[in-house]
Chain A
Amino acid sequence: MAALMETGVKGSTHTATAGRTRNFLNSPKGIMSWIWTVDHKRIGVMYLFAVMFAFFLGGVFALLLRFELIRPTQDIVGPDMYNQLFTLHGAVMVFLFIIPAIPASLGNFVLPLMIGAKDVAFPRLNLMSFYIYVVGACFAVYSLVTGGVDTGWTFYTPYSVETQTSVIAMTLGAFILGFSSIFTGLNFIVTIHKLRAPGMTWFKMPLFVWGMYATSIIQVMATPVLGITLLLLILERAFGIGIFDPAMGGDPVLYQHFFWFYSHPAVYIMILPGMAIISELIATFSHKRIFGYVPIAFSSIAIALVSFIVWGHHMYTSGQSELAATVFSFLTFLVGIPSGVKVFNWVVTMYKGSLTFQAPMLYAHAFLCLFTIGGLTGIYLGAISVDLHLHDTYFVVAHFHYVMMGGTVIAFLGGLHYWWPKIWGRMYDEFWALVSAALIFVGFNVTFFPQFIMGLQGMPRRYYTYLEQYQSTHLLSTVGTWILGLGFIIMAIYLIRSLYIGKPAPKNPWFGLTLEWTTQSPPITENFTQTPKMLWHAYDYDRVLMDENGMVTFNPNAEDEHAHDGRAKHTNGRNGKSHIEETTRSFN
């Protein structure tokens, strides 16, 4: 075993000389090389800028909405403006930000690195999906400047057919964005099937890859339904075909079925990638083999599949039959269980680990806390009789913000900090990162926790004025957004600063074991100098140690027998000196 360590040292020496000279960011140079790039990392970075801009836009809308709600009466915006603001906020956050946020930006960047591939399976399709995203976003912006949309992001008929606002531009935008999402999903599925490095069996894949796989399945299978639904809505508006129009014998509630048939699975397009990141963060910062790898991996797939048959829980009050409501309620509770199991697995992963509490881990813990609240409050809404009370109140607003913002956005921020050194080759400022994470955590809770109480007291959503009795909770909620906003401003400052004056990042600042940490930061365009070979399981912290410079040490005392299930067992690691030597070198 001592020999193995020696080879590790050799590997690291090699790294040091590789330096930061050539990487995907600086070669090739020039704006055209970015516009026509097919490098998944550059596309990921472009997506990153795009989704951050969308998040900024959606965030500004949110601040305005909350500002209006300080007092029960009309303050800064009238009803028309408010209705457009919440619609734009919701639509931008959902279609432009959260759906592409993790898969298309971080996922695009990290996924091929994690499985030791040079790129995704279809690099040109990847670039195309980015430009489709841009075109879709342009339609959304166009609808914004031509009078906005006031239907809510759900576009419920018959209101969306009657309203005078530019519904067609916005829905066409969402329709186009759907293709971007489908292509990304398709690309990832093929990439995961075909481009894994030698030695990386399915059960050696990092859980992030499993999460992306589950997400991609939903993207490919559910998004077309949204496309068809929006197309029907456009036809209905433009030509009055009557499918949703009760006056022509159509059924407005049919629209809701179509819409939620996509949009419930879509909430898992939003949360599964967040869970996928958390699995990585918890394992790396606990420096510990993940607990329950197989359950975590399969629960993602289970969630993805069951998510297709629970859409009716959004429609308990729509007049669907009692039997349907009951069946949907039952299935909804089923889909909750795997999510709970994941949380337990994450917590227990920390047991006997070697924990550090850097910003990404802080985000992971914020996620555990907030996502647990989001998930538990989903149980209220799954219980039919309680949902009849809470449906379309602020309880629902709080619930989905806990899941989407407290879950997905927090996980996204954790992942952003985690891979920031890999993407830019620079470290961010840890102190300010902790300050901003703390502000975001506190601000988030001050903003959204009062909304649970408000909802239980009956405050309906999408109200720009409200009755006196809800004043104090609304005020608290608005003050929370200012704390939240401050946190984000600080984050923007230290992240941008780090690009210029951040400490140069080593290969593996967090002592991770997944393959992206074996290559330089930022990686070269080809990702790895040689095709990497997977010699260990993604979370072999009991037997493999990779230091900041990618130097690998194997545990001479590692026991094989207990605590490894057959699939997780790695035999390659002990295959003898020559094999190891060869492969360790390839990690430079």
Chain B
Amino acid sequence: MNQNSATNMTLPQASRFASDVDSLVAFITWGSVILFVLITMISLYFLWKYRRIGAPTFTSPISHNNQLEITWTLIPTVLVFIIFFWGFKSYLDMRVIPANSMELKVTGKKWFWAIDYPNGTNSVNEMVLPVNKPVKLLLSSSDVIHSFYIPAFRTKMDAVPNRYTTMSFEPTMTGTFDIFCAEYCGKSHSGMIGKARVVTESEYAKWLEEAESGGKMSPVEFGAKLYTSKACATCHSNDGTANTGPTWKGIYGAKHKMADGSEVVVDENYLRQSMLEPNAKVVAGYQPVMPTYQGVLKEKQIDALIAYIKTLK
């Protein structure tokens, strides 16, 4: 994974523009080192050469030298304009979004990243990407400002509430790379870490398939996965504690009082209806805030969730 980069000892160059950014970093570094060594050597030489021996005396009247001053203004000016232009050029590479980009939606929330895929699949803190395919991220936040940062791709962008920002890159190397939140967002800012997993096209298709249908997973395992990946966990606990919605622990087979006074036995049909038409029967003591999952959950996913709920005793 370690590519020939002048400055990044361990950071892979995993996106198309990463090497250009690194080359610019190397260019600035070399320029800086040369300038720095020059200034330091000259200073030290003067310090030694013109050190005072004995009492202070009158010194040279030299006060300026136009040629010298023009030179040392012009050369750095030219250099910084090269750097400006180079930085600008690679910035354009980052900002011009290829038309065939795959579009993902990324939402920063205290303190995790929710990622939505074009086919409706979603994941938390794990971004799976096919290699060599341009990606466009549509970023936003549901609370404070976060910043989506993948060092291996050499880019970041703020996720701002009530606004979309965009970011684009093309992963060029398979592997797993860190995702950080780079904008301070409170208590668990340093824990808002995810992984970008860049895989081959076929592995990506397989992953999507699994995310959608569970693949080779047992229904219970798949249901447990959906419980978090479809964000049921934000409202329903699986350990008995009440949340925005009732806990799932021990509900299967129990009798539930509804808001309209009726009583229902929690069976497969009731569970299924609760997901597809949550407001048809509202559990007593809760607000009818659960969104409908009609069209979002596939048959197989509903089955898996029901299987999972049954295991929570």
Which residues of A come within 8 Å of B, CB atoms? 79-80, 83, 150-152, 156, 158-159, 162-163, 246-247, 252-253, 286-295, 317-319, 322, 325-326, 329-330, 333, 336-337, 340-341, 343-345, 347-348, 350-357, 365, 368-369, 372-373, 376-377, 379-380, 382-389, 391-393, 453, 456-458, 460-467, 469, 511, 541-543, 545, 547, 555, 557-559, 562-565, 568
Contacts and interface: CB of A to CB of B under 8 A. Distances in A.
B63 A330 contact: no
A296 to B, nearest CB: 10
Contacts of B39: 343-344, 347, 368, 372
B300 to A, nearest CB: 36
B156 to A, nearest CB: 5
Given A252-B160, A350-B46, A368-B40, 10 more contacts: A341-B76, A347-B43, A351-B62, A372-B35, A385-B21, A385-B88, A386-B24, A387-B87, A388-B157, A458-B151
B61 A289 contact: yes
A533 B88 CA distance: 54
Nearest to A385: B90
Interface of B: 7-11, 17, 20-21, 24-25, 28, 32, 35-36, 39-40, 42-43, 46-47, 50-52, 56-65, 68-69, 72-73, 76-77, 80-81, 83-84, 86-95, 143-145, 147, 149, 151-152, 154-158, 160-163, 165, 178, 180-191, 193
Given A368-B39, A458-B178, A318 B160 contact: yes
Nearest to A560: B61
Contacts of A326: 88, 91
Contacts of B73: 337, 341
Contact of B186 (A83, A286, A376, A469): A83
B180 A460 contact: yes
Contacts of A354: 50, 52, 56-57, 59
Contacts of B35: 372, 376
Contacts of B87: 329, 382-387
Given A343-B39, A464-B190, A246 B162 contact: yes
B76 A340 contact: yes
Contact of A542 (B52, B60, B89, B190): B60
Interchain residue pairs A-B with the least CB separation, the first 9: A458-B151, A383-B87, A246-B162, A463-B190, A385-B90, A542-B61, A350-B46, A352-B60, A376-B32
Given A385-B21, A457-B151, A469-B10, A287 B61 contact: no
A290 B63 contact: yes
23 contacts: A156-B183, A287-B52, A288-B60, A292-B63, A292-B69, A293-B64, A325-B91, A330-B84, A337-B76, A337-B80, A340-B72, A344-B72, A347-B43, A351-B60, A352-B62, A373-B36, A383-B86, A384-B88, A386-B24, A388-B155, A465-B190, A565-B64, A568-B63
A563 B187 CA distance: 61
Contacts of B152: 458
A212 B245 CA distance: 63
Contacts of B190: 79, 460, 462-466
Interface centre among A163, A368, A392, A465 (most CB of B within 10 A): A392
Nearest to B43: A347
A253 B193 contact: no
A383 B154 CA distance: 13
Nearest to B87: A383
A162 B47 contact: no
B63 A156 contact: no
Nearest to A541: B59
B63 A558 contact: no
Contacts of B72: 340-341, 344
Contact of A379 (B28, B47, B95, B181): B28
A391 B62 contact: no
Contacts of A322: 91-92, 95
Contact of A350 (B47, B80, B89, B184): B47
A511 B56 contact: yes
A325 B180 CA distance: 23
Contact of A318 (B36, B86, B158, B187): B158
Interface centre among B9, B42, B58, by most chain A C-beta atoms within 10 angstroms, is: B58
Among B84, B95, B191, the one with the most A-chain Cβ atoms within 10 Å of its Cβ is: B84
Contact of A329 (B88, B180, B181, B189): B88
Nearest to B164: A319
Residue in A158, A357, A568 with the greatest tally of chain B CB atoms within 10 Å: A158
A222 to B, nearest CB: 24
A457 B8 contact: yes
A388 B156 contact: yes
Contact of A386 (B21, B144, B163, B184): B21
Contact of B160 (A253, A344, A542, A559): A253
A158 B56 contact: no
Contacts of A246: 160-163
B156 A319 contact: no
A164 B35 CA distance: 48
Contacts of B86: 383, 385
B157 A317 contact: yes
B24 A563 contact: no
B59 A333 contact: no
Contacts of B92: 322
A380 B84 contact: no
B40 A369 contact: yes
A558 B61 CA distance: 8
Most chain B CB atoms below 10 A, which of A151, A319, A466: A319
Given A289-B61, A289-B62, A294-B64, A372 B50 contact: no
A467 B193 contact: yes
B313 to A, nearest CB: 35
Nearest to B144: A159
B184 A159 contact: yes
B47 A317 contact: no
A544 to B, nearest CB: 8
Given A159-B184, A333-B84, A287 B59 contact: yes
